[in-house]
Amino acid sequence: QVQLVESGGELVQAGGSLRLSCAASGRTGLIYTMGWFRQAPGKEREFVALISWNYGTKEYADSVQGRFTISRDNAKNTVYLQMNSLKPEDTAVYYCAATRSRLPRRLNEYNYWGQGTQVTVSD
């Protein structure tokens, strides 16, 4: 009942910036938390950031703290991930996810997922 579509992933040089978008549609009233996860080749999907849909509470993984900023535009049903000072280690497929739960970090607590968008950071 909730559809998520990510966009904005592309090739960028180390030190550069990129902004990802996640557009939500359907029964968005079901969403309490929206989160970003990423998965690099050969690695497990990991938590990146989350935000509460209504109140804007934010949390970040230690690996991106101070470099990434999550935000949302409720009028557009869209959540963003502003990524600055990108590193090659940030290379991954980035997934947007949504859940009715309050601020979880475990991926198995998210009910809805986007298709992912590829972010590649080159040296």
C-alpha to C-alpha distance for 5 and 13, rounded to whole angstroms: 24
Give pLDDT, residue 27: 94
Per-residue pLDDT of the chain (123 residues; tens, 9 = 90+): 899 999 999 999 999 999 999 999 999 999 999 999 999 999 999 999 999 999 999 999 999 999 999 999 989 999 999 999 999 999 999 999 999 999 999 999 999 999 999 999 999
Q: Which residue has 């991930």 as its token pair?
A: 81
C-alpha to C-alpha distance for 45 and 69, rounded to whole angstroms: 19
Give pLDDT, residue 20: 98
Which is nearest to 80 in space by CA: 1, 2, 9, 30?
9
Give pLDDT, residue 81: 98
C-alpha to C-alpha distance for 50 and 109, rounded to whole angstroms: 12
Give pLDDT, residue 55: 92
Give pLDDT, residue 76: 93
CA-based diameter of the chain, in Å? 41
Number of H helices, E strands in the chain: 0, 11
